[in-house]
Amino acid sequence: MDTPPSPTDARDLPSLLSDISALEQLADEWPEELRNAANARGEAIDALNAEAFKRLIKSLKEAPDFGPALKNAAADEIVYTVLRRHGILKPTLFERVEEALESIRPMLASHGGDVELVAVELPRVTVRFLGACDGCPASALTFYSGVKTAIQNYVPEATEIKQAKGLGGGDGVQFVSPFASFQKDGWTETLDLDDLPDGATQALDVNEESVLLSRFGDKVTCFSNNCAHMGMRLDDGVVEEGLITCPFHGFRYSLESGECLTAPEVQLQPHGVRVIKNIIEVRLIK
Ligand code: FES
């Protein structure tokens, strides 16, 4: 049996945090009254510690070399974590950008994608879409409406948000949808690019799923062949100037971005697309 650490043993941050998390999970099982009492006790101790740290910092502020000494002390991850928890240290620029990206990740994940921070060089922040977001036709919309707004909310001094190229590429790669270039596996070869003329849309089955492939110049998009209204097949709908109209109740969609013009709160389910050596490959997003 493991011997529990003595209070004088040096502990690392992960083991200390894991103790806290285990105790919090234990308390989750308690009756509400006990849980509230335990939470209130924890908050009272936090408030006491926060006040003590504030006074300590205030009284030491005038000491020579206080700033560099504090910076030095905060290089220790445990010291840093505790000072951050009590609001003594403010989040760094990187942490604020990461917080912003974290806030948008659930939305990106729902499209099978992710985003990573590439660089912060104020006023510019550069990010890269990953997974299904990389090259996805809806990514321009996703990017400007989601990621950019989130970053500017958390880091108002970032006035320029740039999108770095995806991680795709390699021999013969002609096109990769934004979120998709990160994905190495799960691709299915479909048509030769020459068999999908510019401006054309074609329905086909990929791994037993019906999809719509559309070509816009060098770019190819792929969406589920199901209307976002009631899930009916779209491929009997009229296609005109990059828009498809559902034959059932008339919802209209952009085949370039997947946006629904009839009900902007819904959109077509996108799938990853890439063109390698003139072959269109699709990666289904479940
Ligand atoms: S199912 Fe497409 S508009 Fe209703």
Q: How many domains are there within the chain?
A: 3
Record the pTM: 0.45
Is the link from the previous residue into 5 a cis peptide, with omega within 30 of 0?
A: no
pLDDT in tens, the chain (286 residues): 455 555 556 788 888 999 988 988 888 889 999 999 999 999 999 999 999 999 998 899 888 888 889 888 888 889 988 998 888 888 888 889 999 999 988 887 776 677 888 888 888 888 887 765 555 555 556 666 688 889 989 999 988 888 776 554 445 666 767 556 556 678 899 999 999 999 999 999 999 999 999 998 888 999 999 999 999 999 999 999 999 999 999 999 999 888 899 998 888 988 888 888 889 999 888 7
Q: What is the distance between the alpha carbons of residues 115 and 142, in angstroms, rounded to a whole number?
A: 11
**Residue 185: how many other CB atoms lie within 10 Å:** 5
To test the ligand 1 pocket, which listed residue (223, 225, 230) has its Cβ within 8 A of the most ligand atoms? 230
What pLDDT shows up at residue 42? 92
The verdict on residue 202 lying in a domain is yes
What pLDDT shows up at residue 144? 61
Residues 76 and 31 in one domain: yes
Q: What is the distance between the alpha carbons of residues 196 and 190, in angstroms, rounded to a whole number?
A: 11
Report CA(210)–ligand 1 centroid distance (Å).
Answer: 16
Residues 97 and 137 in one domain: yes
The verdict on residue 170 lying in a domain is no
The verdict on residue 9 lying in a domain is no
Residues 190 and 266 in one domain: yes
Residues 76 and 102 in one domain: no
Q: What is the distance between the alpha carbons of residues 284 and 209, in angstroms, rounded to a whole number?
A: 8
Residues 154 and 72 in one domain: no
- State if residue 233 touches ligand 1 by the CB under 6 angstroms criterion: no
Report CA(229)–ligand 1 centroid distance (Å).
Answer: 5
The CATH number of residue 193's host domain is 2.102.10.10
Q: What is the distance between the alpha carbons of residues 160 and 110, in angstroms, rounded to a whole number?
A: 26
Residues 205 and 130 in one domain: no
Taking a C-beta distance cutoff of 8 angstroms, is the pair 181, 167 a contact? yes
Residues 200 and 274 in one domain: yes
Q: Could you list the residue range(s) of the whole structural domain that residue 232 is in?
A: 185-283
| DSSP notation for 99-110 | HHHHHHHHHHHT
Q: What is the distance between the alpha carbons of residues 283 and 206, in angstroms, rounded to a whole number?
A: 9
Q: How far is CA 81 from CA 57, 67, 78, 90, 91, in A?
A: 16, 18, 5, 11, 11
